[in-house]
Structure 1
Amino acid sequence: MVKGHLTPLFLLTFLSGVELLKPKVLYVREGEMVVLHCHLEAEDPGLFWTLPSGQRMNQTSDTSASADQSQKGVLIHGQSLVVLHASLSHQGNYSCTLGNASSQIWFRLTVYSAESSEYKEKNQYPATCFTQEPCMLYCPAANIPCTNISGINSRGITWSKEGETSISQSHFPSVQQNDSGVYTCNRSYTYKGQTYYKTFAVVLHVQISEQLGESVILSPKQNQEFQVDRGATVVIDCKAVVTSEADEVFWLSGKSFVEKDDSLPVFYNYSWEQGAKDIEMTASLIFKKVSEDDLLRNYTCELQSDHQISTFVTIVLTPKARDVFVSVIICIVGIIVVVFVATAAFKFKIDIALFLRDTLGCYGTPPDGKKYDACLMFYQSSSGVELGKADRKWLESVLEERFGYSLCLQGRDISEDNESECIEQSRTLVLFPSSSDSHPGSDLLLKIWAVVAEKNTCLILIKPETKQASSTESASEVVQHLSRAGNCVVWKGRSSMELKSSFWKLLRFHLSAPQHPPKLLPEELTLADHCQHV
């Protein structure tokens, strides 16, 4: 041991007035890093360190003092005092004290030369492994920097074996006797561009292990199927032959352990019998009453051993044939019901949609922010069958007063020559055949179609019932194009005036729900009201 300056403990104790405590002795090789950790419950500013020179300092010391200590290789961070590069000048007695001097911890740091045999003896950490088994060497963590010390960063650990020049490993998948020896782990750190390190010697002793036989699960087999009755009591045995009393056999449900508590609906019990060389173990999985949930779970028997890798056997629970037949019948009936309901819903989708709309009262402002529910415009029918003025008035009155739709009408809400504005502010465009002499030509219909496509407006075309062939006039061709692009509703004259007619059902189905509730219930409307508009 190299002698150095040591401040007498009794003198420091006398000066400070604190009760003398046994110091914590630390050893460090010259040139290496060492950290003194003070385990006093105190805030950082209330903790003071006393150096061998007698100087007191804490983390809030002035900048010049901190810089001076940094140059001397001493840092203070929180409750840790770090000696970056130990030398004889750092040897001596240290203490950490609370600001009120109520508690104090002493340290005695001894610095050894690099080749000191005494230090090598004090710095050895033993490790024991057994042949043919995995072995992991762990680098000690005594008196090293904490991870939260600002500015000090770990660069990892490197291993070397005494007598060898190459870098050694710390993990041995199957350790051998010739792997015994002294291994040095080097923990390196960086601080302000400089590298510092701390080394430890780990002495590995490899002992010959007693060779044990293999422990195996005899039954059941992997993925073996067990047919069970729902509600029945079932016992499934997992039998294994083991070679060590430390081996254990147990059951898992999924990833959870099955308990031994026999008050539970599913549990297991355990028994064993000593043989000449081996031990026969049995873990019995017991179902008090097999439930549907039990059939859906995975149950695994695990053999856990201290000398080999654990082995697993998973079983499959299936219902017996009678239960399968019942399940098939239920599935067939379920499919038939689903098909019937789907067919009925498709066939009566219009009536169902209108019933739900009228019953639930689905009225409100549309999310697109448009002002009108529909825009009504007329076109010239190539068949010659048209809606008269009274029919048009009737149609407008029913939509507005009976069903609550907000309509955009030319001449009333917008000017006659401003069709595009009406379409832009409406959710749906409704075109109906008219006898008006001012019907739009093909060019205007094309313009209307362009606005509908651009504004993403729905289109409904009311067509008169006719058996005549389509005209070849250009305007009729545009109407035919609009008919294919939108939804068509056929006007059948007087029969279409009944509110329960297919005309009104289909027209309301293609129109979105109105923004406002109707002023009159649909049932209050009669054909007599049509006479008021003639």
Structure 2
Amino acid sequence: MVVKVLLVPLLFLFTSKPGACHLTLKEQYVRRGEMVLLQCPSTCNQKGDAKVIWSSYTAQKMDLTNMSSAEQKQMGVLVHQNSLVILSASVDHQGNYSCSVGNASCQFRFMLTENTPKSKEYEERNMHNKSCHTQESCKLNCPDVTIPPNITRNGITWHKAKDDYFQTVEEKDKGVYTCTRSYLYLGQIYNKTFTVKLQIKPKKFEKAAVIISPKDNKVFPVDLGSKVEIKCEAVTYSDFDGVFWISGGSVMFKNPSLPVYYKTTREKNAEKIKLTASLVFKKVSEEDLSKNYTCKLESDSNPPSFVTITLVQKTHPSYISLCPSIVAIVVVMLVTVIIYVKLKIDITLFLRDTLGCYRRTSDGKSYDAFVMCYKSNTDAGLNADDRKWLESVLEEKFGYSLCLYDRDVLPGKATAEAVLDCIEQSRTVVLVPTSPDPDLGSGLLSAIHAALVERQTRLIFIKTEATQDSTSGSLAEALQFLSEAGVCVTWKGLSSRSSSSSFWKQLRYYLPAMPKPSPQTNQDVDSWQMV
């Protein structure tokens, strides 16, 4: 059973008083046995100490406000300020109710009547609407009313849905859902039922817009006379949306026989539709550069979207001014390379002697060089004085530590073993041609060659200008291997004695770099290498 609460202009119940408020019509429907909440309208505000007076006109007129709590409980009502609560509506509560403030200058009337349980009017007036989009989450909200503070909310029960939350709502979920709110008052539960109509709408999509690809810019550099194609793309969700090109205020044509036209494609993937309108210039002309072209998207569900572009002529670099610069750079590079190749030795020695470009090493070696003689032509080789002078300059002037066979090898030691020991302790091996026969056999020379390769020791092979050697056979072949294994420096007789000669420059270049002795320290100088 349904009861109806009706706010009506019962003029016959009003007394005509100056300043009385106008009456408004309001209807409220509830089920029998459920809670009814009547509120004095906000247009009749309580001012100062004025009190809201509730009266009922059922079997007889009663002042509800001045009733005791026990009397209100017996009647099944609760009065709290501007609210009147009927805890459980029944036929005994049919009739009229009024609220007034102060001297009754503002007065309203309510009428409570029964209605049928399935009244269409009841359904329409008590229906609350809720809209959700497909494939999205959806939460149903049970309506609520303002209750006096001494009534406590006690939970919500949904009768059709298992829960008020849909993780992904579908079309099949639409319909009317009923929820009941429970209220606790003086240990008793009272209910009020609401209906919610769930409407399902198509999935919401983002706003469609046009995009110029591939760079999404508005200025396109082009070459006159070239073919150009500019794509305009949009993703929409309606079959009625379209993309087209406009120029000069008019829609362009799709006719491929025209010098400028556009073509369209449509690709559908699930709900999305990809539209492409390609603007084609068969041959860009001067006239095309003076126009603007607009790609526009017409959509039923979104406002129009458009992008305007212009064509500009490409600026090409001036190769006339660039060529001299390239030639000048190439010439400078070539000159630099030639100078370095020609003066490599002088530059390296300058850096060593003047700027001190050295790198300290700790290789465990005892000597900078092992000076060893090999048999040469009597006229072409270095005589004993030249050899002594060479060794003296290396040690005394340039500070090299030399291993000399006839000075640093202990007597009685085997020649081959002594030579290999000197090679082991030296950073460089210097082979000097001499006139006296040092009595080096081919077997020893081969062993020296193997030791140099194994230890990766640098070999400096001093030669003379003479091309004929007194050696022959296997000994000459062994010397040939040694000369190929290292670097060669040419001795030119008396002209090579000068410290500024090419002989000394080359020899010092290939020898380990030696720093100049420091006047501030008497400590030993470690071995150095050029960086």
TM-score, normalised to structure 2, is 0.42
TM-score, normalised to structure 1, is 0.42
Higher Rg:
2
